Chains A and B, each alone.
Chain A
Amino acid sequence: MIITQEIIKEWLDEVKDPEIPVLSLNDLGVITGIEIDSSDKVVVNMTPTFTGCPAMDAMQQDVKDVLEKRGVTDYEVIVSFETQWNSNMISEKGRKALKEFGLAPPPQHNMIVDIDIIERVSCPYCESDNTEMKTPFGPTLCRSIHYCNNCFQAFEQFKPI
């Protein structure tokens, strides 16, 4: 079989964010490049969602494991900040998966995140806009905590960044 970038990308669909198991790394947007050089060496480039994300090592290992499982022996998985992740890089499919998981997807932004953007979030359960932010910091670095005044449910948002 001839390995292409598309095939590798498809394989990586099975690697999920360990803290949000419904979201693949592809949909999260942390896979920033897949290269195959003339000697068939596979190079996968990744970038962290948050600089201090403790799940990064696990994700890097999961990518290596998938490549191994598919019989790729010559590979390198590089984590770097050359491309800086932002929450606009989460795919439409990923945003849908987040919502179904009960985590409000981050609003699209023009790279200027202020308090209005973080506070203006729809409830992932009842879709009401009558919500309020409880704290911009949550159980993981990438989540904030909110409350819905319509369905009286506390919920989390994947933070816009």
Chain B
Amino acid sequence: MNTEGIKDLLYKMADDQLIIGHRNSEWTGFGPLLEEDIAFSSMAQDKVGQSYQLYNILNELGEADPDTIAFMRNADQFHNCQLVELPNGEYDFSLVRHFLFDTAELLRFQMLSNSSFEPLANLSRKIKGETKYHSMHANIWIKQLGSATEESISRLQSALEYALPFALGIFEPSSHEQDLINEGIFEGEDALKNKWIEVITAVINETRLSLPDFKSITPVYGGRMGKHTEHLQPLLEEMSEVFKVDPTSDW
């Protein structure tokens, strides 16, 4: 078993879930309507819980315990893509990111349900059902607001153009890629990206939004290797504040 490759994959996924979960939680109390407030809070709870279980698998592979991994690393030790660490901005950007990221996330967990690495396959079979709700939520709003008023359409279109280079960073290639494919652990970022483009395109085609040619976009890479924007470190400091004051605190 390719333990290094599996760890690399798990860190990327767990860090993505933790950071997007934290960003989603920042909508609690600030949602544009009550239902959206509840939706983003609920998705935050799902994603942070999922990151915990992914960190648990890492723990079983010899890494530190989940709390230590989550709260004691600095930004350059995180492997999330930069897309998830960007500030929430206005609802248009949060919604577009939710759509772009969660589509990839759902597809990834669906693919990993067939992984030869059994603990990850089991967890993915569970998570894909939960993530389906997140993806449905994003699709409904993109379809609705992407065909509503001039303002909603132009806001989503700008957010989409800003977010797409970061979204392509989700699929940043890793040096373990081919080994994971050969061992049947994961079909690979390229395969995921191709499926993602198909799904994203199908949803956008039902709206008045338009997608640029993917080949013309330069992906923002670096996140998977620990290179981050200036927005991640403050997020980590806020997230770990209680833990650092009192590591034994419980609630």
Q: Which residues of B contact A81 (CB under 8 A)?
A: 53, 119, 122-123, 125-126
Task: Considering the complex, give the chain A residue whose CB is closest to the CB of B133.
Answer: A136
Are A137 and B127 closer than 8 Å at their CB atoms? Answer: no
Q: Does B42 contact A (CB under 8 A)?
A: yes
Alpha-carbon distance A80/B140, docked complex (angstroms): 33
Q: Does A135 contact B (CB under 8 A)?
A: yes
User: A114 to chain B: closest CB distance in Å?
Assistant: 7
Secondary structure class of chain A's binding surface, majority of residues: loop
Q: Does A93 contact B (CB under 8 A)?
A: no
**Of B41, B48, B132, the contact of A113 (CB 8 Å cutoff):** B132
Which residues in window 120-161 of A have CB below 8 A to B? 134-139, 141, 145, 159, 161
**Of A50, A113, A145, the contact of B49 (CB 8 Å cutoff):** A50
Q: Which residues of A contact B123 (CB under 8 A)?
A: 51, 81
Task: Considering the complex, give the chain A residue whose CB is closest to the CB of B39.
Answer: A137
Q: Which residues of B contact A80 (CB under 8 A)?
A: 122
Task: Considering the complex, give the chain A residue whose CB is closest to the CB of B36.
Answer: A135
> How many A residues have CB within 8 A of the partner chain?
26
Per-position binary interface string of chain B over residues 29-53, scored 1 when its CB falls under 8 Å from any chain A CB and 0 otherwise:
0000001001101110111111011
Q: Does B26 contact A (CB under 8 A)?
A: no
Q: Does B211 contact A (CB under 8 A)?
A: no
Task: Considering the complex, give the chain B residue whose CB is closest to the CB of A47.
Answer: B126
Q: Which residues of A contact B47 (CB under 8 A)?
A: 52
Q: Does B130 contact A (CB under 8 A)?
A: yes
Which residues in window 190-245 of B have CB below 8 A to A? none
User: B240 to chain A: closest CB distance in Å?
Assistant: 19
Q: Which residues of A contact B132 (CB under 8 A)?
A: 113
Q: Does A60 contact B (CB under 8 A)?
A: no
Are A84 and B49 closer than 8 Å at their CB atoms? Answer: no
Q: Which residues of B contact A48 (CB under 8 A)?
A: 126
Are A84 and B122 closer than 8 Å at their CB atoms? Answer: yes
Q: Does B155 contact A (CB under 8 A)?
A: no
Are A86 and B48 closer than 8 Å at their CB atoms? Answer: no
Alpha-carbon distance A136/B50, docked complex (angstroms): 19
Per-position binary interface string of chain A over residues 19-49, scored 1 when its CB falls under 8 Å from any chain B CB and 0 otherwise:
0000000000000000000000000000110
Interface pairs (6), CB distance under 8 Å? A50-B46, A51-B49, A81-B119, A81-B123, A84-B129, A161-B133
8 residue pairs, one from A and one from B, having the closest CB atoms: A52-B49, A137-B42, A135-B35, A81-B122, A84-B126, A137-B39, A161-B129, A84-B125
Query: Using a CB–CB distance below 8 Å, which chain B residues touch chain A?
Result: 35, 38-39, 41-43, 45-50, 52-53, 119, 122-123, 125-127, 129-130, 132-133, 136-137, 140
Starting from the known contacts A84-B126, A145-B35, 9 additional A-B residue pairs (CB-CB under 8 Å) come to A48-B126, A51-B127, A51-B130, A52-B48, A81-B119, A81-B126, A115-B140, A136-B39, A137-B133
